[in-house]
């Protein structure tokens, strides 16, 4: 097996010193243009690529970003966010010669261990913190580890790190208004994990708007899993018809899909007997019947902006918060006016 060419091989081929090769190939100033070109073609000729480990050892940069996803294995599969989010990250990372180190861990203990390992072993230059929780320990942990991060959303703890956020309040406001305008007076919210900041904020906004409109609101917190969405729906629809909600807003699309299935199995027509809405968007929501009303999110946009923000931070630029375009209400067939006489 032939040895991979090193910078010394390039230097020999180009008839220069390896120090100069390093300068030339890293686009540093102070190299004669001809020499630079000669070095470059020598490198191409022998197919040289800088070794990441060697470079990292001196530059103290790994050119890698860490994403640690903490989700129960059964929930991660149905979460429509991550795949597109990662594709968005990747679009920026590959362009800038960076890689993504991904971990999927089952619980908070494994999560902390993974952060410590990734930072302690010097494997990544920074972290992407998703699914912020209340009093999230990860912000302080990353700081303690001497690393940096970007958070998706604004943490409720002091954070030295830039945040990327999307305005969701108006979207929820629009959604509840839209349902109230259709004539719904009892609207349930099968909320996501209330310990997660985004789940919590959406629930609060839902309650605020419902109260402002004089709509009767019932909130059931869950864990974002379709199972939980299904069982919450059974409870809601099993109540006395006079108390029963005529519209249900779910914390994410998979729960909404599961809830819609329960409603249909119990003989409720959607949307005539009960209107169903997701939150957070998804591709599959367009393809169920009836198609799911939801609030759009654009996971790929999240990914692109988060990656760019974190790379700038790692490059020593001043951290700047970024705000994405607000979530927009997408009305599809799963919501409509409530029928006077339910089946």
Partner DNA sequence: TTGAAAGCGCTAACAA
Partner DNA sequence: TTGTTAGCGCTTTCAA
What's the min distance (Å) between Cβ of 40 and DNA?
Answer: 12
Q: How many residues does the chain have?
A: 343
The answer to whether 258 touches 285, Cβ cutoff 8 Å, is no
Q: Which of 290, 268, 275 is nearest to 343 (CA)?
A: 268
CA angle 76–136–120, rounded 5-degree value: 85
What's the min distance (Å) between Cβ of 254 and a second copy?
Answer: 6
User: E-strand spans in the chain?
Assistant: 64-70, 99-105, 126-129, 149-152, 163-166, 186-191, 216-221, 247-250, 275-277, 294-295, 322-324, 329-330
What's the min distance (Å) between Cβ of 35 and DNA?
Answer: 3
Site for a second copy contains 1 (CB under 8 A) = yes
How many residues bind to a second copy according to rule CB under 8 A?
70
Residue from the set 46, 104, 140, 219 that interacts with a second copy by CB under 8 A: 104
* 54/108 with CB nearer DNA: 54
Select the binding partner of residue 20 from a second copy, DNA, none (C-beta < 5 to 8 A, by kind): DNA
Residue from the set 32, 41, 323, 325 that interacts with DNA by CB under 7 A: 32
Site for a second copy contains 73 (CB under 8 A) = yes
* 209/302 with CB nearer a second copy: 302
* 153/285 with CB nearer a second copy: 285
Site for a second copy contains 96 (CB under 8 A) = no
Q: Candidates 7-15, 112-120, 169-177, 182-190: pick the segment binding a second copy (CB under 8 A).
A: 112-120
- What does the alpha-carbon distance between residue 255 and residue 78 come to, in Å, rounded to a whole number? 9
Residue from the set 41, 44, 45, 57 that interacts with DNA by CB under 7 A: 57
- What does the alpha-carbon distance between residue 62 and residue 124 come to, in Å, rounded to a whole number? 6
Site for DNA contains 4 (CB under 7 A) = yes
Query: At what angle are helices 33-46 and 18-25 packed, to 10 degrees?
Result: 100
| b/e map 197-221, b = 16+ CB within 10 Å | bbbbbbbebbbebbeebebebbbbb
What's the min distance (Å) between Cβ of 308 and a second copy?
Answer: 17
- What does the alpha-carbon distance between residue 132 and residue 142 come to, in Å, rounded to a whole number? 14
Residue from the set 82, 115, 127, 250 that interacts with a second copy by CB under 8 A: 82
Select the binding partner of residue 31 from a second copy, DNA, none (C-beta < 5 to 8 A, by kind): DNA
| b/e map 138-149, b = 16+ CB within 10 Å | bbebbeeeebbb
Select the binding partner of residue 8 from a second copy, DNA, none (C-beta < 5 to 8 A, by kind): DNA
Q: Candidates 11-19, 208-216, 286-294, 305-313: pick the segment binding a second copy (CB under 8 A).
A: 286-294
């Amino acid at each position: 097996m032939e040895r991979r060419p090193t910078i010394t091989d390039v230097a020999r081929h180009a008839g220069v010193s390896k120090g100069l090769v390093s300068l030339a190939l890293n686009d540093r100033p102070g190299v004669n243009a001809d020499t630079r070109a000669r070095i470059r073609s020598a490198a191409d000729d022998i197919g040289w690529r800088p070794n990441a480990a060697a470079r990292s050892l001196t530059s103290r940069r790994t050119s890698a970003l860490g994403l640690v996803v903490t989700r129960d294995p059964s929930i991660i599969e149905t979460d429509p966010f991550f795949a597109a989010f990662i594709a968005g990250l990747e679009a920026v990372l590959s362009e800038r010669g960076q890689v993504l180190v991904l971990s999927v861990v089952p619980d908070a203990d494994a999560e902390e261990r993974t952060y410590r390992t990734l930072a302690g072993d010097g494997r990544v230059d920074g972290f992407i913190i998703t699914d912020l929780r209340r009093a999230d320990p990860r912000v302080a942990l990353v700081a303690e580890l001497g690393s940096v991060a970007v958070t998706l959303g604004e943490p409720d703890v002091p954070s030295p790190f830039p945040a990327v956020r999307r305005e969701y309040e108006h979207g929820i406001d629009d959604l509840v208004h839209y349902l109230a305008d259709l004539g719904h007076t009892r609207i349930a919210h099968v909320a996501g994990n209330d310990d997660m900041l985004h789940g919590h904020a959406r629930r609060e906004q839902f309650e605020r708007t419902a109260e402002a409109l004089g709509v009767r609101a019932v909130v059931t917190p869950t864990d974002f899993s379709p199972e939980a969405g299904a069982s919450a729906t059974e409870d809601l629809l099993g109540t006395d018809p006079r108390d029963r909600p005529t519209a249900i807003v779910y914390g994410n699309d998979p729960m909404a899909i599961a809830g819609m299935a329960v409603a249909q199995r119990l003989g409720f027509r959607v949307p005539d007997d009960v209107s169903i809405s997701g939150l957070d968007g998804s591709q599959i929501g367009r393809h169920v019947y009836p198609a799911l009303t939801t609030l759009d999110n654009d996971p790929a946009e999240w990914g692109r902006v988060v990656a760019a923000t974190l790379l700038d931070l790692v490059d020593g630029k001043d951290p700047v918060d970024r705000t994405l375009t607000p979530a927009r209400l997408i009305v599809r067939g799963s919501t409509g006016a409530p029928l006077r006489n339910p089946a």
